[in-house]
Structure formats: C-alpha cells, structure tokens
A and B are shown apart, each in its own frame.
Chain A
Amino acid sequence: MAARRKSAPPAPALLEWAMGGLGLLLVLAALAVIVFEALRAGEPARLEARLIGTRPAGAGWLADVEVRNLGGETAAAVGIEGRLGAETAEATVDYVPAHGKHRVTLAFDADPRAARVSVAGWSEP
C-alpha cells in the first residue's frame, strides 16, 4: 500500500457518489426482496385456471384463460385443459412463476362461455 501512496488519489466526482449510492441502494433493495421471498417460499406451487373471456375467431371460438400460481414455488410445463361438452382443448405453459400468472388461449368449435377450464398438472422446474 505504501508504494501506491506516492500521489494522493483524486477525490471522487459527485457523479461517482451518486452512482455509488444508487448501486448500494439497488443491492440492498435486491437483498431485501430476495430475503422476503425466501421467508415466503417453501409453500409448494398451487395453480388455478380461470376463464376470463371468449371471442369468435373465424369458424371457431377462442377462450382466454388466466393461470395463477398462488404458491411460493415455480411450476414448469403446466398443462391447461378446457372441456366444452364432448370437446376438449389443451395448451401447455413453460413456466408459471411463484405468485405469478400467465395467459393461455384455448380453441373451441362453439362459444366456450360455459367451458370448464382446469390445470391438468405440472412439473418441478
């Protein structure tokens, strides 16, 4: 260290203090959120599918479905199933993050307003 003290280092610029402060703030904020998530985690993934709307598309109909993960763990390869009478439609979602949601569209021949949508299953990421 002594050798490096030949000339006193120049004082940091104001911009430097500002950026440094921002960095510190971001690190502490990130740690706070991560620790908060860690305390909330452990609760396994719990998925719910809900029909949020239908719209005609060409000869058929589309059903918009929202999948919510109410648990603290992320679910992967989530299978969504919709049934309308004898007709079934399905879609797969790569990931639904913990406490997150994802939108899926299912295709039917008739107006799927009365369709029953459900989550068929998922795997651990």
Chain B
Amino acid sequence: MSASLALDRRRELAYARDLARAFGGALLFSLPLLMTMEMWWFGFILEPLRLAVFLLVALPLLFGLAFYAGFSAQHRGLGHALLDTLVALAVGAITAAAVLALFGVLEPGAPPGQIVGQLTLQAVAGAMGALLAGRQLSAGEEDIGDEDQAAYPGELFLMVAGALFLALNMAPTEEMILIAYRMSAVQVIALILVSLTVMHAIVYNIGFPGQEAHTRPFAAFVHYTLAGYGLVLLTSLYVLWVFGRTQGHGLAELVDAVVVLSFPGAIGAAAARLLV
C-alpha cells in the first residue's frame, strides 16, 4: 500500500486531467439547473425528509453510473466506482457552490439548512454530469466505461439513468404541471403513444445487444420499450415527488403530470446508450 500511495507525477497529472473533464461535465449538465430559480427555492421549500431521500437514492444511482460510465479511462471495477462516486459528488458540490456564489444566489447570512439544501440538489445533478463526462467530453478518443458489458438489468438501469438525465432538468419548472393542466384526456393518451413510438424507434435504431430487436421485434418492444417506459413513469413520479409537485393533486392530474414528464424521460431512456 505504501508503494501505491507514493507520489507519481504522471499519474497525478493524468488524474487532474480526468478531474478537469469531470468539472466540465458537471457544468454542462447542471448549468440549466443552476440557472433555474425553482432549484434555488427548493433548497428551503423542500422538507428535509425529501432532501435526505433524494441524496440517499442518488448514491446507488451515481455508483451505477460510475460503474458503467465514469470520467476516468483507467478506472475499472467496484472499488474505483465507489471512489469515483464520492469524487463526483465533491465535484458537483464545488461546481454548485462556485456558480451559485458567482450568481449571488447563495446568501452569506442564510440559515445552514437553506444553503445545504440548495447545494445538495445541485451537487447530485452535477455529480451525474461529472460521471457522464467521460462519454460527453472525451470526443471518442478513448472508450470510458463498461456499458457494453451491461446485462439486461444493467440495460434497464441505464434507461432509468437516461430518463433521470432529462427529467431532472425539466421537473423543477412550473411548466410540467402547467402543461398537464392544459392537456385533455385524449391528448394525454396521444402523448403516451408518441412517447412509446419515439422511444421504440430510438431503441430499435441504436440497437441493443443480442440483436434481439432485429430477430424478434415484438419481444424487443416488450423487453426494452415497454419495460423501459414503465420504469420511466416510476422515475417521473419519484422526481415529481422529490420536488413536491405531487402534493395537493388529484390522481388524474398527477398521472397527467407523470405522463408529461415521462415524455422527455422516455427519450432520455431510449438514448441512454448515447448519453451514458
């Protein structure tokens, strides 16, 4: 252990470059959220319970992303994924603190609960971006990540991650609920069909492993598109709950909002192989 802890200049520099890429990914993904005022307000509007659940649920999700994607090319295996998860959270928190301070959103005299709330939400989003940085910012020069080895549960996990990637950026805004209010039952059903169709088209074209999509199209629809859309609906419901958007809504309005948010979610899930 003492040998591996010795300072190796080349290794440190290589890692610093990976880290810079992680910061880039964090900025790229979380900037829309950092510039959304609802996200600042959620820091003190959300009950602490929701924040705690959000952070705790995010940990295994980030770990999964670190395992399948990550921001460093040399990293393989569970131990590295765990370390990458923590590093990504640090990167997300530093990015959020720096940008929000720059924007004058962080108030020096604010109660600690408010600042921690604001930073926690943004840090998780930033960490997601950091872990996807390898794929987003490496310009294809090196293959980062193990996603090609993903088995069926892994594929479903990547779909959930892809759904979150887009849904998290949209869910904080008032518009999700507003759109749901404006839509009639027919339009909601049409949106479900459109979501499924677009999702299947993307899944089919990107091509999941095993070439199942080409030999057995119906099975591929059930195994990937339908299963994926179900998970997207649950993911959307969870995100809406975290942001307190489920409160005070009747079941029908809630379902409408879930379907609305699941539209970007479905596209994110289907395109997970491009994003992750």
Contacts and interface: CB of A to CB of B under 8 A. Distances in A.
A10 B16 CA distance: 15
B53 to A, nearest CB: 10
A23 interface: yes
B55 A14 contact: no
Given A31-B55, A95-B41, A20 B83 contact: yes
Interface in B87-131: 87-91, 93, 109-114, 116-117, 119-120, 123
Q: Is the interface of A mostly helix, strand, loop or mixed?
A: helix
Interface stretch (B69-77, B169-177, B179-187, B215-223): B69-77
Contacts of B117: 34, 37
In this complex, the member of B4, B48, B89 whose beta carbon has the largest number of chain A beta carbons within 10 angstroms is: B48
Interface stretch (B6-14, B154-162, B204-212, B262-270): B6-14
Nearest to A27: B89
B109 A101 contact: yes
A34 B87 contact: no
Interface residues of B, number: 49
A38 B86 contact: no
B44 A95 contact: yes
Interface of B: 4-5, 7-8, 11-12, 14-16, 19, 41, 43-45, 47-49, 51-52, 55, 59, 74-77, 79-80, 83, 85-91, 93, 109-114, 116-117, 119-120, 123, 146, 149
Interface of A: 1, 4, 9-17, 19-24, 26-27, 29-31, 33-38, 41, 74, 76, 94-95, 97-101, 125
